[in-house]
Amino acid sequence: MALRKLVAGNWKMNGTRAALPELPEIEAAALNAQGRLDVAICPPFTLMSEAAAAAPLLAIGAQDCHHLESGAYTGGVSAAMIADLRARYVIVGHSERRTYQGETDADVRAKAEAAQAAGLIAILCVGETEEQRDAGRADLVVAGQLAGSVPPSGKAANLVIAYEPVWAIGTGRTPSVADVAAIHELIRAKLIELLGPEGTGVRILYGGSVKPENAGELMAVPDVDGALVGGASLTAAQFVPIIQATAAL
């Protein structure tokens, strides 16, 4: 079943207000492609309000959320606070947070549940390291992350999975089309096992060094329902061609 694709940009810890002029052009490309795909930008928390004002018709997301709604958690930002900004998405379990903040599958699941409770769509990231792939354990690792972090209440309407092999993030390297196809097929089967028929409608994004040059090829792979894009989402010059290549499929 072909699902409506989502192309989401993750700005990570990049961007000050000087980056906001990139957004209207991205918004225009998203509007041109409307009906064929969804587009979102996930800027740092500091830019979310101004990003929404600079491109009011572009969907905005956050890059993380706290699993609780409010309280004495200095520096924390809850899913309810993100929803209050009229954001639609929140990334949870990005490998950089799993690595640098030590987030576990249980933490990621709690965040995804908080996102759903706040009415947001969680973009839940999974993916193996190079060492795990070389040891032939990529499938096991990804299936284990899904089992541990996908909320049982996950629905097509409030959950998106992003498969991001850690070794492909920011490196310019990508898996072969055959490898992407194989692991996305496995993720689809696991989602159906975990969520029942609802699992057929959960979008599965590919992420890791998606660029204008490889977007068309990667987005055409079966069960690739869009892209999570890091570096190439920082400028309209790079991100717009990715949107256009995806919309052209």
Least separation in angstroms between residue 7's CB and ligand PEP is: 11
| 240 binding ligand PEP? (CB under 6 A) | no
User: Contact letters (x/-) for ligand PEP, 26-65, by CB under 6 A?
Assistant: ----------------------------------------
| 229 binding ligand PEP? (CB under 6 A) | yes
| 226 binding ligand PEP? (CB under 6 A) | no
Greatest alpha-carbon pair distance for the chain in Å reads 48
| 164 binding ligand PEP? (CB under 6 A) | yes
Reference 51, options 6, 88, 7; nearest CA is: 88
- Binding segment toward ligand PEP, per CB under 6 A, in 52-60, 72-80, 163-171, 214-222: 163-171
Q: Which of 103, 113, 128, 164 is catalytic?
A: 164
CA distance 126 to 143: 9
Least separation in angstroms between residue 186's CB and ligand PEP is: 19
For residue 182, what are the contacts with CB-CB under 8 A and spacing of at least 6?
none
C-beta closer to ligand PEP: residue 154 or 208: 208
C-beta closer to ligand PEP: residue 164 or 223: 164
Partners of residue 90 on adjacent β-strands: 62, 122
| 122 binding ligand PEP? (CB under 6 A) | no
Q: Which residue is nearest to ligand PEP (CB)?
A: 230
Reference 24, options 13, 32, 15, 16; nearest CA is: 32
Q: Which of 67, 94, 103, 113 is catalytic?
A: 94
For residue 88, what are the contacts with CB-CB under 8 A and spacing of at least 6?
40, 59, 60, 61, 120, 121
66 among known catalytic residues: no
Least separation in angstroms between residue 164's CB and ligand PEP is: 5
213 among known catalytic residues: no
**Residues acting as catalytic residues:** 94, 164
